[in-house]
Structure 1
């Protein structure tokens, strides 16, 4: 190790680079962090230098020397040691494959890689899912930094996820040693001997080693250079946690391209055709999952037909299975690349991967995976973590994972091929049972005063989410709203008739949330499944819910027939409360059709039947709607008295959702009579209630109504505050009803400024 002699009295002390560095830093009263920032190196690297664990390059020593104003003392100690053989005798390998000419920079990953390189890290691991462009990115970046490694560049494909077996490190070392000038007869036969010789040859050199497509940390460890001036780059579908923990690797995860990056890549392949039909190009990019491999295959397919518009390819990708379209040849296909990942999995994990293909799409909860694969949530979490390690799923939060659309399409292909239809249907039935149980638990928490009539089908005993507060149940429903729709439609395609009960168990929330543009098609599927499975009670529920949707869509005439069909089934089943509910629906339909007498008759009948059945919740609902009819007929006092009675019923039952809705009805009654202060008072009560249960949708509605009240009174400042609050609450909500409301609010804000 290079050193400097220092005279102290009669004794001469020889200081190493690390000792002198420590002495100078302490003398200038700098912390490791302060010096690291000044010299643009990492704090850990400086610590290793001070303890003489690593030796600096001349450039790094000069940077530290300048930061310490050492006048060249440190830089002089960093003169490289003589090598085993003269430079002119050493072979300089240059094994990097050619970089892609049409490479599109991935700026975020480039920034991370550059930062790791500047910090003089010795091992950088690039991981990510199949087809995400790890090799192309790493080879391109390796070309840009190769000039910093005058002793050469070694490259190998470790075939960690190829169709055949991964490369043996001993075989790879044999090739590396020959590339470094070792004659075949001098190469040891055993792994340990080859590792020792390899590290000896690379000692004190500046060599770049690129290890592509590694299967795990054990495969790469013998191939890592020991020289602190050298750098190893590794790519893998595996997260290589062992290399991060044991070898100090810096992990950089490559994800699918951004929309702009994907379009840039398509331009590099297709030229001006992309901007000639940008909408079609975006569809192609999205259907290809913005994966570079899939995008290049799509571009090649389009290039084969240069006169055919891009929209034809976009339509084909939308209409057909994308895996069938994204194929250049038997070896260059997204399906083939995914098969290598699947085939490398242990059998139980591979089975889990395939069964996840049955999921209807979107984030996958741990409990949902457990239901599909028939394991406990703890076991399912272990399987999901194993799949996340090789990027076949990605973890998005503590209890949720997502599967790329193309990956899920492949998993579904495999589960259809390798498992019989009845087994797959049973797995989906377990998933439906999970959501039946969880949905029922959420509704019990939110509408505790409503009697829950037993279903004619008991869900299986599967793990169920539990809710400790109403706010948890509301958040669950908002999170799972689209998944519930997908599950009904997906289950119907598999003839899982139990999906008919999903809109039954969450019926109150469907009515409250009114996301009918999503739900009406699913309700029609549920109705078909109810009839196919002979689930008469579910059939009645779905008919009523379709009637409710018709009223909200101002189609009360069609709703009447639906309620009457449901009523006949309720009578057949002897369900008195259910018959009362049908009369409530008919009363609402007649009210919308302006037949107030018929509306009042139906609602009074509903009140009487619910009293007979001992169902105070249905009685209160019928009374609330009767109040609207009475108010429309001019009897405001009677309407107010009824609503006050209704609110007392819900408050006594601690039914916050129903109480909040009643407050909004009281506000409407006050507003219609010109009692603005009273209306604001009731809306503030409703807002407090919906805030307590974290019902963002209802809070937004209340803020909008408060804003409208202020605007009617000429107070535009307060109106804008309320409208802005409502718009902020709905920001990012893609459900069409919520998105439409937000658009209206924004237009109101623009018009009044």
Structure 2
């Protein structure tokens, strides 16, 4: 016979491994002395003995924090679960997950304190200390405390996890109690502590996602940092009355630098209260230095922020911990599995597995689009651990892998968007011979747009860390993104850094390439004089480098400046010179682009027949070769000729074709120009309503792109609004 009093090391170990513990009293028969509970099949006369709790219903809940702020959404979801505790046979289980210091315990305590009256048979609390396996409280210890609180005499509490768990379920059956299991380590640990049938509510807090509890139909609530306004209110409430008024802007800065994390905000408030003589602005300056931020938030604190994060980090398996450290080196705001795999030098499936572990440990956030992101303070912590735990050579190797991954992928994306463009970086030629990375233009453009914040950060990091070659090469691979989507702030910031990098390398061709692209941003913004000077400098450098295609490109750009400055004759001369170089070099695409430019220049000179001839030739070549982006620009130029010189029917047809090709190319600027011209065409035809609708579309796109053309269209719309003419009957959008 197996005694109900026998426990074992194996039994205590089961809850850590997510297994059900063995049942030590299954199969007991006959008379059993002392306490026995029905945990399995028991035969014979069995009697339960208990002691009433003379002190009334137990309440073990911690005090609710006085500074508790907001969390209305989370409290509302908890209240919804609480409202469902109407079936006296159903235990409701809620699991609050989130990083250390986010306020899970405070939220749970606040809610259960407010709902105490709904659980008249008691409120139980246990800190399971599940920050790390070696520190976790054994569930049989917790059950001993729970049973004593419920009035079971110490001598009647059996030994062994299964026996105690069964007695706990028997003692709570048919009652209404609330249980708060704080800092749980595993699903098995929680299962051992669930009460018996009854209208109970069990709230579990954990840094881990306890998915092993799904059989108990729990509600999982992810608890994140406070929103910005709530974080400011918490700080203000903690500091109020302890020092002179702090400005709203300073409070916002402090909350932001604390990552809106309640633990960090309490640390900030504590320093403000204890040092009323020190200005809050000084603390902002201290926290603004990322290298010192965690140290400042951890100084003289009972629960230092750094130590709270360390506990979770030190509990990770080695490979997940290594990935966590290395991800701290990633300069962007978020990343996907492929980037993580490249950074760590591991395959996709391993990276995916380790990322899932970091998410489950609440050290990393996962977005619905397959991307991952750190909380600001955790990112700093990961970077610190990389500095302290990862050899310098390993950190450098990881960054080299990261630069190589993003550069090669950006090259592939740019090439997908514009396969005909010539480049300086030899990676482009390698990419032409390699399997396609992207399915088509849409996926390539989407990748570049999604990764732009990271690509921008990588350019600046490359420049700051002396990786000058990578800096300008990344810029070259961003040309099509900026041409199509503009992003002027990122465009100028990256290319200024790329230019400085090329100058440090004393590479005239790379310098010229950066100057031309940077000038393109200024030209788009209407800063013609600045752009023209940059184009002149680029031309000189192309000549110095002996790069004929570069010289042709610079002549083209200077010709564009001539057109903007209303000097079409000078533009025609420059475009013709560039055309001769492209013919000399056998660059048919360059010849077609110069045909487009010459057509635009002749149009501005009022020479419409010549303009239509050049532009038609350009459209024919570019559409035949599938160069949608350049074809869309040529079609817009051709439509402008017909809009100005007629016939309007041909202008209408050409604009329709231009719209389709522009949309297919993702050329939002050209789409906006087409709508602007369709608005002008509708006005010429006496359709003011259609005109307004097209102009509104153009204005929306120009505004979104930050284009100066928006003001011209806005004025055009204002002029239309003052028009009191009659609508043309039956008009429709062109």
In the superposition, the TM-score normalised over structure 1's length comes to 0.79
1:551 aligns with 2:523: yes
Q: Note closer, same or farther for the CA distance 1:206–1:474 as it changes in structure 2 (3 Å cut).
A: same
Q: State the 1:300 CA deviation.
A: 3.3
Structure 1 residues 378 and 686: CA distance shift in structure 2, 3 A: farther
Matched with 1:522 is 494
1:105 aligns with 2:74: no
Q: Distance in 2 between matches of 1:622 and 1:332?
A: 68
- Map 1:592-631 onto structure 2 (within 5 A): 592-594=564-566, 596-631=568-603
Contact 2:640 2:677 in 1 (8 A): no
Partner residue in 1 for 2:384: 413
Please name the residue that 1:152 is paired with: 122
Shift of residue 647, structure 1, vs aligned partner: 1.0
1:249 to 208, 218, 236: 218
C-alpha distance after superposition, 1:436-476 (max 9, x if no partner): 22222222322233355652799899x99832232222222
1:111-164 per-position Cα deviation (integer Å, ceiling 9, x unaligned): 211111222252111112232211110110011122222221111222222697
Tell me whether 671-680 or 99-108 shows the greater mean CA deviation: 671-680
Can you give the 5+ residue segments of structure 1 that lack an aligned partner in the other structure?
Answer: 1-81
Q: Secondary structure at the match of 1:370?
A: helix
Q: In 2, Cα distance between the equivalents of 1:543 and 1:336?
A: 48
Q: Tell me whether 1:209 sits opposite 2:168 in the alignment.
A: no
Please tell me whether residue 240 in structure 1 is matched to residue 205 in structure 2.
Answer: no
Is the 1:557–1:593 contact (alpha carbons within 8 Å) kept by the matching residues of 2?
A: no
Match of 1:26 in 2: none
Alignment CA distance shift 1:417-1:750 (3 Å): farther
Tell me the residue number matched to 2:397. 426
Q: Give the C-alpha shift of residue 227 in structure 1.
A: 3.0
The Cα RMSD (Å) is: 3.6
For 1:379 and 1:742, the matched residues in 2 are separated by: 49
Which of 245, 248, 253 matches 1:283?
A: 253
CA contact (8 A) 2:491 2:518 kept: no
Judged with a 3 Å threshold, the aligned counterparts in structure 2 of structure 1 residues 343 and 511 are, in CA distance, closer, same or farther, namely same
Q: Is residue 381 of structure 1 aligned with residue 346 of structure 2?
A: no
Q: Of residues 110, 116, 122 in structure 2, which corresponds to 1:140?
A: 110
Instruction: Provide the residue aligned with 1:17 in structure 2.
Output: none
The one of 446, 457, 476 aligned to 1:504:
476
Please give the alpha-carbon distance, in whole angstroms, between the structure 1 residues aligned to 2:70 and 2:538: 60
Give the whole-Å Cα distance in 2 for the aligned partners of 1:220 and 1:237. Answer: 14
Structure 1, 156-165 or 355-364: larger mean CA deviation:
156-165
Q: Are the aligned partners of 1:206 and 1:227 in contact in 2 as well (CA < 8 Å)? A: no
Task: Verify the 8 A CA contact 1:432 1:499 in the aligned structure 2.
Answer: no
Secondary structure in 2 matching 1:397: coil
Task: Give the whole-Å Cα distance in 1 for the aligned partners of 2:374 and 2:280.
Answer: 27
Matched, 1:264 2:233: yes
Preserved CA contact (<8 Å) 1:126 1:252: yes
- Greater shift in the superposed pair: 500-509 or 206-215: 500-509
User: 1:750 and 1:389 mapped to 2: Cα distance?
Assistant: 56
Residue number in structure 2 paired with 1:690:
662
Deviations 1:484-519 (A, max 9, x none): 222211232233331321111232332343333222
Provide the rounded CA distance (Å) in 1 between the counterparts of 2:227 and 2:507.
46
Q: Given that residues 675 and 698 in structure 2 are in contact (C-alpha distance below 8 angstroms), is that contact kept between their aligned partners in structure 1?
A: yes
Structure 1 residues 3-40: Cα deviation after superposition (integer angstroms, max 9, x where no partner): xxxxxxxxxxxxxxxxxxxxxxxxxxxxxxxxxxxxxx
Residue 582 (1) aligns with residue 547 (2):
no
Are residues 470 and 315 of structure 1, via their aligned partners in 2, closer, same or farther at CA, if it must alter by over 3 Å? same
CA contact (8 A) 2:411 2:427 kept: no
Q: Which residue, out of 324, 329, 339, partners 2:310?
A: 339
Q: Which residue of 2 aligns with 1:174?
A: 144
Change (3 A) 1:324 1:90: closer
Would the aligned equivalents of 2:327 and 2:343 in 1 still touch at CA under 8 Å? yes
Question: Post-superposition shift, 1:541?
Answer: 1.9
The match for 1:635 among 580, 601, 607 is 607
1:216–1:405 distance in 2 versus 1, CA, 3 Å: same
Structure 2 residue aligned with 1:472: 443
Range moving further from structure 2, 610-619 or 303-312: 303-312
Q: Does 1:123 align with 2:88?
A: no
TM-score (norm 2): 0.81
Query: Greater shift after overlay, 97-106 or 503-512?
Result: 503-512
State the Cα deviation string for residues 711-739 of structure 1 (Å, max 9, x = none): 687754324423444566689x6xx727x
- In the TM superposition, residue 560 of structure 1 has moved relative to its aligned partner by 4.9
Q: Is the 8 A contact 1:169 1:219 kept in 2?
A: yes
1:666 and 2:638 correspond: yes
* Post-superposition offset of 1:423: 2.8
CA deviation map 1:363-392 (0-9, x unaligned) = 312211111111122221211111111222
Question: Who is 1:194 aligned against?
Answer: 164
Counterparts of 1:320-339 in structure 2, within 5 Å, are 321=291, 322-327=293-298, 329-339=300-310
CA contact (8 A) 2:93 2:217 kept: yes
Per-residue Cα deviation, 1:299-340 (whole angstroms, up to 9, x for no partner): 333444557775555555445554344346344333222222
> Structure 1 residue 89: deviation in Å?
4.3
Q: CA deviation at 1:676?
A: 5.9
- Give 1:274 deviation, angstroms: 12
CA distance in 2, matches of 1:580, 1:586: 10
Aligned partner of residue 235 in structure 1, secondary structure: strand
Aligned-partner Cα distance in 2 for 1:730–1:346? 51
Deviates more, 1:487-496 or 1:279-288: 279-288
Change (3 A) 1:325 1:150: same
User: What SS is found at the alignment partner of 2:416?
Assistant: helix
SS across alignment from 2:94: strand
Secondary structure, counterpart of 2:115 in structure 1: helix
Contact 2:182-2:204 at 8 Å conserved across structures: yes
CA shift for structure 1 position 618? 1.8
